[in-house]
Structure 1
Amino acid sequence: MAAAQIVSAVMDEWKAGIDHHDPGRVAGVFTEDAVFQGLRPYGVGRPAVAAYYASQPAGMTVDYRLLESRRLTDQSATGYLSATFSYPDRADVVLAIGVTLVRQDGHWLVAQYQASASAPPRMATD
């Protein structure tokens, strides 16, 4: 399976969990020991991921666009995406997100997640 398919399948489930305000569903796409860096101090593991998304306001949704993906090994992949988080009562927030995925027990899961303020457009190379 291509890296883009792997990353998109996992992030589609992440999106569905966020859109339905289901922190357990979101946490389910992460490994038990995932390193998670949202916009607050980082956390480790599914409970930290679930707590982060449980604290988000009801009605928050996310749309994302996969910008880059790579298959690192047969059991790992990485992705870089732009995500727009929408809220019913305030301005959207656009973030850059990097993820590293690993294959465990036949499932692709996020082992590392890093969010930051949206990056500028791709740099030109000489």
Structure 2
Amino acid sequence: MLSNVMNQWKAGIEDHDPERVAALFTKDAIFQGLHPYGVGRDAVAEYYAAQPLGLSPQYEILETRVLADDLVLGYLAVDFTFTDRPTLSVKLSVLIRRTDEGWLIAHYQVSRL
């Protein structure tokens, strides 16, 4: 489940399609990238629309925990590569939740640690 969601997230970012990325989040998702946090799909779309063309995330799932039948925690290492600057390595925590629309990201938090 987590790999499927994150593969779609990766593809949306690589295609520079912020609306497609935002559709992978719940309507009330808490989103914390490397800028002040936002809530909801509009905040996610705005964040990814501001990212440069050529951005590409390469991720590795480090840990997962099934918290409930409809809730999974993921902890990932992500390398964001750019066309014009050094790679940015971060840790990413996500909560994905099963909804009527399928598995979606309900919480997303990046850390440079």
1:66 is aligned to 2:48: no
Q: CA–CA distance in 1 between the matches of 2:69 and 2:42?
A: 28
% of aligned pairs identical?
A: 51
Report the secondary structure of 1:57's partner residue: coil
Name the counterpart of 1:19: 14
Amino acid at match of 2:16: H
Once the two structures are superposed, the pairs formed by residues 12-91 of structure 1 within 5 Å of their partners are 12-91=7-86
Report the secondary structure of 2:77's partner residue: strand
Report the secondary structure of 1:84's partner residue: strand
Name the counterpart of 1:108: 103
Give the CA deviation at 1:59.
Answer: 0.9
Structure with the higher fraction of residues in strand conformation:
2
Report the secondary structure of 2:13's partner residue: helix
Q: CA–CA distance in 2 between the matches of 1:82 and 1:88?
A: 20
User: TM-score, normalized by length of structure 2?
Assistant: 0.97
Give CA-to-partner distance per residue, 1:52-74, whole Å, 9 cap, x none. Answer: 00000011111100000111111
Structure 1 stretches of 4+ with a deviation exceeding 6 A read: none
Q: Which 5+ residue runs of structure 2 have no aligned equivalent? A: none
